[in-house]
Every structure is written in C-alpha cells, then in structure tokens.
Structure 1
C-alpha cells in the first residue's frame, strides 16, 4: 500500500508516455517495445484455477478475455461462456482486471475449464497469448477461438456459425473485417484452424511474444497488422460478414428505396444516412460494428459491440431501440445487458 502511494504521482505521466492511442506516437511505441523486449516473453499470469469443465485433451478451445474495474463476472459474460461451451469449446477465461475477488473467481470456475488472472500487460492481445500458453496440449488443437468481452451476445447459437467458418475456405477467420488503415480482420473474435495453429508464423508469434504496453503499438502491429502478417506467410484469412457486401447492400437499399426522400424521416437519421453514403462513395472506411450494427444483427450476426451503447461513437440516432432490434431476432435476455450498463455507466441513458 505504501509503495502504491509513492507511485501514484507518476501514474498519469507514465500513461501519457507509454499508453498513447495515436498511431504515429512512434517514440512512445519504440520505448514500450524496448521495455517489453528486455522483459522477455514470460507469461503475465499471476494465478490460475481449474474450472468445473474438462480441458485435458480438448481439441477446440476458446480463450475469453475480460476486464472490469472490480473484477466482476457479469451476467452477460456468463452467458457468453455458456454459449461457447454449447458450441463445443473448452473455455479458458483470462481476467486482466486490477482485482479479482474470491467470490467472482468461484463464480467464473462454474462456467469454464480454467480461470487465469494476469497483470494487464499487452492488453487483450497479451491476454490472448497468455491464455494460449495455458492450453495443456496445443498440438492436439483443431481450432482456437480468441474473443474478448467488448461484445454483448451471442444472440444466436455459435455452433452453426462456426461450422460455416470452415478450414476449407480460410485458415484464420474473423466475424467482421475492416479497411481502416489497411484491410484486416477485426480482433474481438478470431478463429484459428489447425493449419494456422501449426504454422511456423503463428507458433513463433506465441513463442517470441512481447507484452508491449502501448495501445497505439497494439493497434498498429496486432489489431491492424496481424492479418497482413498471416497472409504474407501464406495463410488465408476471411470474415464471416464482409465489409464490402455490407456497404453495397446499404447503398443499394438507401438509393433504390429512395429512403432519403421520405419526408417522415427524422433529420438526425437523414443526416447520418447522407454521411454514410458520402463515405461509401468516397471509399472511406467505416467501422462495420458501429455503422451497421443493426443491419448485422438482423442478418444473424451474433454480437453487439459494447462501445456502441456506452459511447455511441458515430452519434447513431434512436439508439435506445437496440433491445428491440435484438429481441426481434433472438430470445437473448437483454436485461443482462441493461444490468451491466447500470453497473458501469455514468450520465448516460441507453
């Protein structure tokens, strides 16, 4: 406790230097990379506990990463673990939370095969890697799902969807793709098949890992850069919902349906649709999980990004109808999302 008190004055200067989000803050990134290189590839896991489900000999594993200020295991996270198990995955839950109370550890253990608590270095990607290192028989794996708690859901069973994401079509899958900076699979949900898991590039990625404590480095090199690295190594990558198809469908629907000519259309909705059409025509990338969240869910997409509700990054009008969109296609209990939002939000109604 005394040490924490002495370190508190340097907390914010440290974050300003080493925790930047700007992608061109290269000095901070290189400094963080140098520190991570010196520290080496050791795991940041502080403790782990066996869960009530079997991990030994598992051929299909999911590493689910969570972070909460108080280390809480929220209802929506439990629902996610249940859905992954129903899809035939042995679940490893990795918590990056600053604290992890005993009662929450006990709760988590009921719903997974292994629970791990780690220092939050390298953020979600660092937790993905440390979770992979906890798989007792990596060589036996047929598939590996890496997923984080930045999404609510799933609103649909995952097993049929994962069957569609076949190794015959791609070695590495994402739920959605993005053209922000350059084309890549979005990293909140990634599926690796055996050909990828056994590939030298992927094996070396886990072996030579660096827990770089720079969000901008993680975004540039991992969230954006990892897909290109895989493809250059000869691995095929694909998304279950393709950005280009989403944009084409959107533009066609708005124009052919003459939606903008509808005089009953609220001005806020009209302005957003016009902005999206402008971006589409200009070839400017849009985050599919933000701009097309409702279209995706209606089309069977099983998730909703949390930040759509917590911050509404694009100013989506009538966002308060989110629960109706979900309930229109799914039996998912949206009250568990509401309970989580009540626990984490201030001065915002969703």
Structure 2
C-alpha cells in the first residue's frame, strides 16, 4: 500500500471511530435517559393501564356492512378533516369494510357528525400510545360488540392517501391472506410497517395474537411504538408461523422497473441520500432494488411505488424527517403530476421549527420524538 492510500485509510478509520464514539455518547447520556424518564412517567399514569380511562367517548355511526370485515383507523388530526383521510374512509366503504375510527384528539361536533355518517363507530380517546394505542383500544371496542370478525385491517393517517388507485390497493388487503402489509423495513430491526396491515380469521382466532394486544402497554414514545409495536407484532406473527404477504413487494417493484423502457426519471424519485449514486450509475435499476430491499421501503420507494401504480400513498413526515428536501419535491411533482409541496404543507405532522434546542434535535434524529 502506497503512503497516500495508507494515510487515507487511517484518516477514514479515525473519523469512523470518532463518529461512533459521539453516536454512543448521545445514546448513553441523552437518548436513553430521556426515553427511560418518559417510559417511567407513562407507567405511573393510570390511563396507561386502563382502557376505560383512555376512551372518552364511543359514538355509534350510521354505516354498517355485512361480511365481517372491519378496519380500525387511527387518526391524529386537529381541526378539519384531511380530504385524504376522507378518501381512504370512502374507499373502504365502497369495499364494504366496517370502520372503527379512533381519534387521538378531541373532535368538534361537526367533525364527529361527518365521521359518524361514514363509520360504524367513532372512538375518541386520549393520545396515549400513539397509533398502536389507538389500534389496541379500537380492537377492544370491536371485540366488545361481539360481532363476528372475519378480517381486520389496521391503518392510520400518518400517510397521504391519493384517490387514484386507492380502491385497487385496499382490495388486495381484503383477500385470503392471513397476514398482509404494504411494505417492510430491513434496516436495523426487521418489521412490517404498521400504517397499513391486514389480518385474516385464522390470525384473529389465534390466542397469541389476542394476547399480544391484551398485554401491549400503550407507551407513547416513538421508539417504544417501533420496537414493541411494529417490531414486536411482526416477531409475534412470524413466531406463530404467519408470513406477511407484501402488497408493495420488492418483486412487484422489480417487475415494474425492468419492464420500463425509460428509466431516466428513476434517480429523481429517490430520497436525497440515495439519488446521487443512482444518477452516477449507467443502470440505476439494480441499485434501486438493492436499496429498497435493505432500507425503509416506504421512504426509499414511496414515489417509485406511486409512479408505477403499486401504492397510492406516501408518508406525511418525509420532509420533516429529512428524507426529501422541499426542492426535490418540486422536481418529483413534475414527474408524478402532483403538487407535492402543497399536499405536504397541508399534511405535515412534524415541523422542523418545533425542534429548536440541540437536545430536541438529537432526540429527533434518534427517532425518540
């Protein structure tokens, strides 16, 4: 090895060691203490342990469908309803799905009536446990009805639901699969992503599935929701022998990309982190597929999945989480024919300006808030 290469290697190792040291110091002295404090506080809160204390109201709606298919739709929305949430609700009704809408915020009377005219039940609860807390309480409400459940869909409003293709996508969650999800994550902790999942009758009768929800503690930190919620549920399902059927699978994306004779726009649809390498490749398809298979798929492939009519949705926090810059969204809007900056301005749930202190920025980067 020549001297410049040797010096370069030493410099890289030194930078990597310093980065790892700083990373672990942040975990040990900031992230873990904050997470521990929040969890202990939640465990001392009586509402964490009591479904009756969490649920403020259970309102009966006017829409009921035969067939035993139900959806628990977790919503966190203040003020007026999002038109994209209403698009998802109306699509599910067209497919004869009974909707238990669970709101983690207090709703105005006007919003309550609008939802009751579209749902089987509207549940208003305290925001304890995020979406998994809402899923848990919505499932409890459903089981209290003693109605026969043949299929259960869990979904939330952390995504923007685009109308075009929505019925076709939801229909794939209502088939014969015991366990279905839209996308999965292979980065760090494997799991099926929880913003849209479906479970068949075999799963719903399995005592291990019922015990999971009975024993789940609705603690509201983001790391808890991921590790005990998404990861915990996925592991339980796999341990029970239920393999997920992925609607937006790697295989479907692979077929779509390989059948597209014009791949010039593919790099432009990728997140900021991965776009440069794709632009430098003479054939971006293998690179895109490798990244999609290894990372957070709804972040890496959201606009690719939309472009190829595989899933008409994307996460509401993609700008706030630093996945895409506002400038990149303007370019992507031209490719997809959508005004993404306008959509996300209306839908954003994590504004960067809320994280002004250096501690909150660290907690944000580590996914604690």
* TM tier relative to shorter chain: 0.7 to 0.9
Contact 1:177–1:243 (8 Å) recurs in 2 = no
Q: Measure the CA separation in 2 of the matches of 1:23 and 1:244.
A: 38
Q: CA offsets, 1:75-114, max 9 Å, x none?
A: 22212210111122111111102x3222221222222221
Corresponding residue to 1:194 among 195, 198, 201: 201
Contact 1:28–1:214 (8 Å) recurs in 2 = no
Please state which structure has a larger fraction of its residues in helix: 2
Corresponding residue to 1:51 among 47, 61, 67: 61
Once the 2 structures are TM-superposed, how far is the Cα of residue 151 of structure 1 from its aligned partner?
1.2
The 3-state SS of whatever aligns with 1:140 is coil
Residues 11-160 of structure 1: pairs in structure 2 closer than 5 A: 27-28=36-37, 31=40, 34-35=43-44, 39-43=48-52, 44-54=54-64, 59-68=68-77, 70-97=78-105, 99-135=106-142, 136-137=144-145, 140-160=148-168
Once the 2 structures are TM-superposed, how far is the Cα of residue 122 of structure 1 from its aligned partner?
0.8
Q: Measure the CA separation in 2 of the matches of 1:165 and 1:343.
A: 26
Aligned twin of 2:323: 313
Once the 2 structures are TM-superposed, how far is the Cα of residue 315 of structure 1 from its aligned partner?
3.7
Q: Measure the CA separation in 2 of the matches of 1:33 and 1:24.
A: 14
Which consecutive unaligned segments of at least 5 residues does structure 2 have?
1-29, 354-369
Aligned twin of 1:6: none
Select between 239-248 and 302-311 the one with higher mean Cα deviation: 239-248
Aligned twin of 2:297: 288
Q: 1:31/1:52 Cα in 2 relative to 1: closer, same or farther (>3 Å)?
A: same
Residues 216-235 of structure 1: pairs in structure 2 closer than 5 A: 216-235=223-242
Q: How many residue pairs end up in the alignment? A: 313
Which consecutive unaligned segments of at least 5 residues does structure 1 have?
1-20
Structure possessing the higher radius of gyration over alpha carbons: 2
Contact 1:36–1:210 (8 Å) recurs in 2 = no
The 3-state SS of whatever aligns with 2:183 is strand
The 3-state SS of whatever aligns with 1:222 is helix
The 3-state SS of whatever aligns with 2:84 is helix
Q: Measure the CA separation in 1 of the matches of 2:152 and 2:346.
A: 27
Q: Measure the CA separation in 2 of the matches of 1:315 and 1:62.
A: 33
Q: Measure the CA separation in 1 of the matches of 2:197 and 2:212.
A: 15
Q: 1:214/1:195 Cα in 2 relative to 1: closer, same or farther (>3 Å)?
A: same
Aligned twin of 1:180: 187
Q: CA offsets, 1:151-200, max 9 Å, x none?
A: 112434445444444765x4211111110223221110001111111111
Q: 1:315/1:212 Cα in 2 relative to 1: closer, same or farther (>3 Å)?
A: same
Contact 1:174–1:185 (8 Å) recurs in 2 = yes
The 3-state SS of whatever aligns with 1:241 is coil
The 3-state SS of whatever aligns with 1:308 is coil
Contact 2:179–2:199 (8 Å) recurs in 1 = yes
Corresponding residue to 1:340 among 319, 342, 346: 346
Once the 2 structures are TM-superposed, how far is the Cα of residue 342 of structure 1 from its aligned partner?
8.8
Contact 1:76–1:337 (8 Å) recurs in 2 = no
Contact 2:84–2:162 (8 Å) recurs in 1 = no
The 3-state SS of whatever aligns with 1:213 is coil
The 3-state SS of whatever aligns with 2:102 is strand
Q: CA offsets, 1:215-250, max 9 Å, x none?
A: 211111112231111111222222111247647976
Q: Measure the CA separation in 1 of the matches of 2:343 and 2:324.
A: 20
